[in-house]
Amino acid sequence: MTDRDISFDEIVDGADPERIRLQAIHDLLLAAGAPPELPPSLEAAPPEPRAGVIAFPRRRYTTITVVAAAATVLFGVGYAIGGRDAPQKPVQTIAMRGAAGATASIALLPRDAAGNWPMTVEVSGLAVLPDGETYTLWLTHDGKLAESCGTFAVAAGTTKVPLNAPYPLKQFDGWVVVRTGTTQPFLLQTGAA
């Protein structure tokens, strides 16, 4: 949410017979803040937990030890071959929404040692622009564009693009996508920052 006051008078008419009741909900919404967006890993319900823990019989210990040792070796080999390129888990997912059903999801990856916040932005439903024209993802502060996180073009359907925010994110309070060179928002953050 931005720091700007949200005017209840703008939303509910002064003569509305339910004004007091709606004012209470208005206040509750402001106090509650935005519900967080679920990361992709939590979009589906987890598998139901098993009823209980079943202990292995003692006679299987030798087999278990051999299997565990083999698994450890295989894990080590696998890590050496490909582990360093394994995809990182997002630390935060930001949902965005625009007109005519356009949506975007920013999967923010862990900050690196240099202070970069790499991210993958997945965009759907944005208008395809003429050749040479792009969109820009901005971090906002107090409702104004603050720092650019990069530009991108979109194709019909869904476009997935890697971008980066080399800034301390605590300085900002929102995200917006605009047409490059303008300040008109095409996508706005809808969930918690």
Site for other proteins, rule CB under 8 A:
1-4, 6-7, 10-12, 16, 18, 21-22, 24-26, 28-39, 41-42, 44-46, 48-49, 91-92, 97-100, 108, 111, 117, 143, 168-170, 174, 185, 188-193
CB of 150 to other proteins, least distance (A): 18
CB of 184 to other proteins, least distance (A): 9
What count of Cα atoms within 13 Å lies in the side-chain half-sphere of residue 77? Answer: 6
Contact 36, 191 (CB under 8 A): yes
Task: List residues bridging with 163 in a β-sheet.
Answer: 119
33 versus 78: smaller Cβ distance to other proteins: 33
What's the distance, CA 177 to chain centroid? 14
87 versus 132: smaller Cβ distance to other proteins: 87
DSSP secondary structure letter of residue 142? T
CB of 148 to other proteins, least distance (A): 19
3-state secondary structure of 183: coil
Other residues' Cβ atoms within 10 Å of the Cβ of residue 149 = 20
Task: List residues bridging with 104 in a β-sheet.
Answer: 96, 123
CB of 154 to other proteins, least distance (A): 18
32 versus 54: smaller Cβ distance to other proteins: 32
